[in-house]
Chain A
Amino acid sequence: MLEADIQLRLGKFSLDAAFSAASGEVVALLGPNGSGKSTILRALTGLLPLAGGRVVLDGTVLDDPAQRTRVAPEKRPIALMFQDYLLFPHLSVLENVAFGLRARGTDKKAARQKAAEALAQVGLEDQGAKKPGSMSGGQQQRVAMARALVTDPRLLLLDEPLAALDVSTKTDVRRLLRATLRQSHAANILVTHDLLDAVALGDRMIVIENGGIVQTGTPAEVTARPRSRYVADLTGVNLLRGTARGTAVDLDGGGQLTSADPVTGPVFAVIAPAEVAVHRQRPDGTAGNLWRGTVSEVDLMGDRVRVRVDGTPTITAEVPPSAVDDLKLDDGGELWASVSPAAITVYPP
């Protein structure tokens, strides 16, 4: 069980984030570059000193500046996995995996034995004599996984572990990582900017922006009800803020929408792009929300086309490719957007 309250400053950047992770749980820290995710990891490892707050792991205080307690990085039962693996290039794969055991005092023979077992668990049983540099990225990340887990850490920190892998390798390594994390008794913190990694590997998600936590919840909760532009953009939905009076929502950026569920007070409104219909002429007899805008962007996304309509509010619609021709979207110009009230999810921030 990790209980962390991390407060520190690095030049102009300040970080203040409190969260916990139960043993066996995988907490995904999701955030854009520079949001402070990796800084949190460096603070947890003890490589960066805290200015305030505390870090407690399984009841042991690792960091508490107020009490002047600070456990040295090498004394913490923590293991790390990095985006660029950081395998020792001068050591063999087996020696890499045995490194943590040797550093913590296991004798050479026992360390090699355990390292060989750990390599077998990641499917690299006969690769121990190789140098890491001669391996593929996916293999290197498997070695890094074995190296991190062989010391039986109480806290496993994963820093963008899949970011450097190509798409096909990523799937394999992600699957292995998920299976390994499922069996783990450590508290696991996964730092990522890839929503898919967070959803596939995380039991719980924490969204970090500008050095602070903006949202926590299960991946399903966070993706269904994003509370920041960043997450909304990752999931590809329209996120609008406004104030609700019953089913009427006055949007902060101008314009009004009608939703199906009555709420009162400040709200987020989420609209999936597929629920937005676009028309060249004002449609007759459309119930619900209808407004006028101009086409500003047309993008092909897989087998769908996303159209951005600037108006009040500005919204992104998803249409079949045939609509580009039918509606002459490439010509730009004026367009009508419509959304049924039932397609708008409204919830308090």
Chain B
Amino acid sequence: MDDRPRQPFNPLLACLAALAALFFFFPLLGLVTGAPWGRMVSVITSKSSLDALQISLIASLSSTALALLFGFPLAWMLARGQFRGKGLLRGLTTLPMVLPPVVGGIALLLAYGRRGIVGEPLHKATGLSLPFTLAGVIVAESFVAMPFFVITAESGLRSMNRRLEDAARSLGASRWTVFRRVTLPLIWPALVAGIVLTWARALGEFGATITFAGNLPGVTQTMPLAIYISQSSNKMDEAIALSLILVLVSLVVMIFRRERSGSD
């Protein structure tokens, strides 16, 4: 493929690259060597750890599903729609990507909290309240993570050759068949990347969650919150063990994604 001659060895470039690699390597090594290997099983299987793991998985998977359900139509409108204020809408929906998560949490409280613009009428009408519930965790994680899906799906939709859809229609395919057999397979890699990014972001979410949903063990305490609490209450062993679990989960996802996307 690449017929350019091999680059000559550049010692400065190699040194800087090696430093960068080590920079990423040492923290991982620290986690592995610092882990309480002897007490690993008991720490992980303790009730508080299992609760946190369960809440994290439920909340992150739910918010990823919500991101798919609502984020895909949004991405579609942003990629294909023709309406005024599209740039503004895109800016609005992707703002949480650059917003400090704790600011997002405060904003969520003011919108969906019990006294919030939407939260107060919602509470009066139905008695539902989001803060300090598992649903609140899901809302916080969706707010922060969904933009990753929207942006990836939108760029997938934009970069596909839409004339292929024309070709499919001219061959007798209905709009739905075109979507199912042409559009979806072509943007599939982008969707998978979006899902993985979104899920990873949701799993690691901390600031918006603790601000909006609080830190109730067994209710809203996710893994990152549990890790933070363990570390700040001098239970370093627990913090390290829980961290290792998150590292493991992330590694599995990365490997799985590589396998699936194969050649690209």
A-side interface residues toward B, CB under 8 Å? 45, 47, 73-76, 78-80, 82, 84, 86, 88-91, 99-100, 103-104, 147, 151
Given A86-B161, A99-B181, A80–B170 Cβ distance below 8 Å?
A: yes
Quote the shortest CB–CB distance from A273 to chain B (angstroms).
40
- Bound-complex Cα distance A82 to B182 (A): 17
Given A86-B164, A88-B164, A45–B170 Cβ distance below 8 Å?
A: yes
Closest B residue to A47 using CB positions: B166
Quote the shortest CB–CB distance from A149 to chain B (angstroms).
11
Prevailing SS type, chain B contact patch: helix
- Bound-complex Cα distance A88 to B169 (A): 12
| Contact across chains for B169 and A74 when beta carbons are under 8 A apart | yes
Closest B residue to A77 using CB positions: B172
- Bound-complex Cα distance A91 to B182 (A): 9
In the complex, 13 of the A-B residue pairs with CB atoms within 8 angstroms, ordered by the A residue number, are A47-B170, A73-B166, A74-B169, A76-B170, A82-B163, A86-B164, A86-B166, A86-B167, A99-B168, A100-B173, A103-B174, A103-B177, A151-B172
Closest A residue to B163 using CB positions: A86
| Contact across chains for B170 and A79 when beta carbons are under 8 A apart | yes
Q: Which 7 A-B pairs have the closest CB atoms?
A: A100-B171, A103-B173, A86-B167, A104-B172, A103-B172, A90-B185, A73-B169
| Contact across chains for B170 and A103 when beta carbons are under 8 A apart | no
Residues of B within 8 A of A89 (CB): 186
Contact residue among B164, B173, B182, B186 (Cβ-Cβ distance under 8 Å from A74): B173
Residues of A within 8 A of B185 (CB): 90-91
Residues of A within 8 A of B163 (CB): 82, 84, 86
| Beyond A79-B171, A104-B172, A151-B172, 6 extra complex contacts between A and B, CB < 8 Å | A47-B169, A79-B170, A84-B163, A90-B185, A99-B173, A151-B171
Highest count of chain B CB atoms <10 Å: which of A45, A89, A103: A103
Residues of A within 8 A of B182 (CB): 88
Given A86-B161, A89-B186, A90-B185, A74–B174 Cβ distance below 8 Å?
A: yes
Given A82-B163, A89-B186, A73–B181 Cβ distance below 8 Å?
A: no
- Bound-complex Cα distance A88 to B178 (A): 11
Given A86-B161, A90-B185, A103–B171 Cβ distance below 8 Å?
A: yes
| Contact across chains for B186 and A99 when beta carbons are under 8 A apart | no
A-contacting residues, B83-111, CB 8 Å: none
Closest A residue to B175 using CB positions: A74
A-contacting residues, B170-204, CB 8 Å: 170-174, 177, 181-182, 185-186
Quote the shortest CB–CB distance from B11 to chain A (angstroms).
40
Residues of A within 8 A of B186 (CB): 89-90
Closest A residue to B182 using CB positions: A88
- Bound-complex Cα distance A90 to B263 (A): 13
- Bound-complex Cα distance A300 to B191 (A): 55
Quote the shortest CB–CB distance from A7 to chain B (angstroms).
21
Residues of A within 8 A of B177 (CB): 103
Residues of B within 8 A of A86 (CB): 161, 163-164, 166-167
Quote the shortest CB–CB distance from A143 to chain B (angstroms).
12
| Contact across chains for A147 and B171 when beta carbons are under 8 A apart | yes
Residues of B within 8 A of A99 (CB): 168, 171, 173, 181
Quote the shortest CB–CB distance from B198 to chain A (angstroms).
23
Closest A residue to B161 using CB positions: A86
Residues of A within 8 A of B173 (CB): 74, 99-100, 103
| Contact across chains for A78 and B181 when beta carbons are under 8 A apart | no
Residues of B within 8 A of A74 (CB): 169-174
Residues of B within 8 A of A82 (CB): 163, 167
- Bound-complex Cα distance A86 to B163 (A): 7
- Bound-complex Cα distance A322 to B171 (A): 56
- Bound-complex Cα distance A45 to B169 (A): 9
Residues of B within 8 A of A91 (CB): 185
Residues of A within 8 A of B167 (CB): 80, 82, 86, 88
| Contact across chains for A88 and B168 when beta carbons are under 8 A apart | yes
- Bound-complex Cα distance A84 to B161 (A): 11
- Bound-complex Cα distance A86 to B174 (A): 18
- Bound-complex Cα distance A91 to B168 (A): 12
- Bound-complex Cα distance A84 to B167 (A): 11
Given A88-B182, A90-B185, A99-B181, A73–B170 Cβ distance below 8 Å?
A: yes
Quote the shortest CB–CB distance from A94 to chain B (angstroms).
14
Quote the shortest CB–CB distance from B165 to chain A (angstroms).
10
Quote the shortest CB–CB distance from B168 to chain A (angstroms).
7
Quote the shortest CB–CB distance from B128 to chain A (angstroms).
44
Residues of B within 8 A of A100 (CB): 171-173
- Bound-complex Cα distance A151 to B171 (A): 8
- Bound-complex Cα distance A84 to B170 (A): 15
Quote the shortest CB–CB distance from A131 to chain B (angstroms).
11
A-contacting residues, B128-174, CB 8 Å: 161, 163-164, 166-174
Residues of A within 8 A of B181 (CB): 99, 103
| Contact across chains for A78 and B168 when beta carbons are under 8 A apart | no
Quote the shortest CB–CB distance from B63 to chain A (angstroms).
29
- Bound-complex Cα distance A82 to B170 (A): 11
Closest B residue to A85 using CB positions: B167
Residues of A within 8 A of B171 (CB): 74, 79, 99-100, 103, 147, 151
Residues of B within 8 A of A75 (CB): 172
Quote the shortest CB–CB distance from B82 to chain A (angstroms).
14
